[in-house]
Copies of this chain bind each other. A is one copy, B any other.
Amino acid sequence: MSYIERTMKSEKIYEGKVLNLRIDTVELPDKKYSKREIVEHPGAVCVVPITSDNEIYLVKQYRKAIDKEILELPAGKIEIGEEPKECAIRELKEETGLSANNYEYVIEFYSSPGFCNEKIHLFFARDLEEGIASPDIDEHIDVEKYSLEALLHMIDIGEISDSKTIIGIQLIDRVICNKNK
């Protein structure tokens, strides 16, 4: 049986550049009311740029929300009217300078469905060509390249701690492992 929470009231708290916040009052099965704090996000893409030698490009970037630099797969917010694949091509180029001749759509997932509707579309990018990066004016990005083996180890010891990046690395590892079986 499918279950939903009926919205009795919806209050916009904030409308911003990256996200909106709203508070919904919902009716529960017992007819009581509860509040849901909901972050609205336009969605994002994440790209696993992988070479024929199974090396992967990542970006190191300061993130104000966690007040530190963190290693991530190239990624970014989907702009209005943009298709996920277009966004993947644009973000990969902007952040790393790379172009890929082969994009493969893999999966999509929610980063935090308990309070946020952000959906991330993940692509593998192969057959790469290097070029000049052009990050946004307010982005400070370093590009780094690691072997898949090194990245799996970095997940296990906590040096990779971004969820979409962990997912992308583990997915490409499973694809390569399955091929070699």
Residue pair B108, A111 in contact (C-beta under 8 Å)? no
Neighbouring B residues of A66 by C-beta, 8 Å: 110, 113, 117, 119
Neighbouring B residues of A69 by C-beta, 8 Å: 2-3
Closest B residue to A164 by CB, please name it: B163
- Interface majority SS on A: helix, strand, loop or mixed? mixed
Distance of A74 from chain B, by nearest CB (Å): 12
Given A64-B38, A69-B3, A174-B173, also A163-B16 (CB < 8 A):
no
Given A16-B23, A19-B115, also A34-B173 (CB < 8 A):
no
Residue pair B107, A163 in contact (C-beta under 8 Å)? no
Given A62-B4, A108-B158, also A21-B21 (CB < 8 A):
yes
